[in-house]
Amino acid sequence: MCGLQEFVDAYVNYVFQISVHEWYTAFSSGFLKVCGGKVLELFQPPELRAMMVGSSSYSWEELEETAIYKGDYSATHPTVKLFWETFHEFPLEKKKKFLLFLTGSDRIPIYGMASLQIVIQPTASGEEYLPVAHTCYNLLDLPKYSSKEVLCARLTQALDNYEGFSLA
């Protein structure tokens, strides 16, 4: 029995320490160059994580309330109303997919959803076109759709076929 425990211990040590030592050392060195020193002592681990990767406390209503509209779009425009109706009916994973599509990240900044300041603007293209996201500006080009069904289908198609920056 003792041999088995030794094997398990050696295997765990290899997987979690020895095999990743080179990469962890490089990561740690780079991280500490950027974020090292006394500043690290100011944060608890959850706070540091939030600073590095953003928050996962989603407030979808806040996203809607702080949205900015351009052109003839406003919060009361029929297409915008259809958009938010459709969006709020999406399951969490699809909403996160939309966030990734629009901003390049499925996380929200540490200051919350309001700090995203998404912008929705109309396009001259017809309803057969998909919505287009400009991730650097949190800008959504949203064609004027005639029905919730068409809007949902086009938005879903855009989200399902989104490939990000293709850096993998």
Over residues 33-49, mean pLDDT: 80
Burial 89-105 (b: 16+ CB within 10 A, else e): ebeeeebbbbbbbbbee
Residue keyed to tokens 């919350």 = 112
Q: What's the confidence (pLDDT) of residue 166?
A: 46
Rounded to 10 deg, the angle between the 148-160 and 92-103 helix axes is 70
What amino acid occupies position 48?
A: L
Identify whether 136 is a catalytic site residue: yes
Lowest pLDDT segment from 42-46, 61-65, 83-87: 42-46
Highest mean predicted confidence (pLDDT) among 1-15, 41-55, 106-120, 131-145: 131-145
The one catalytic residue among 2, 35, 136, 152: 136
Residues 99, 109: Cα–Cα separation, whole Å: 12
Distances in Å between the Cα of 160 and the Cα atoms of 1, 39, 165 are 51, 40, 15
Q: What's the confidence (pLDDT) of residue 167?
A: 44
Residues 155, 114: Cα–Cα separation, whole Å: 22
**Residue count (the chain):** 168
Tokens representing 135 are 């991730």
The CA angle 147-151-155, to the nearest 5 degrees, is 175
The average confidence (pLDDT) of the chain is 89
Residue 141 in contact with residue 132, Cβ under 8 Å?
A: yes
Tokens representing 95 are 């909403």
pTM over 0.75: no
Confidence class of residue 168 from pLDDT cuts 50, 70 and 90?
very low
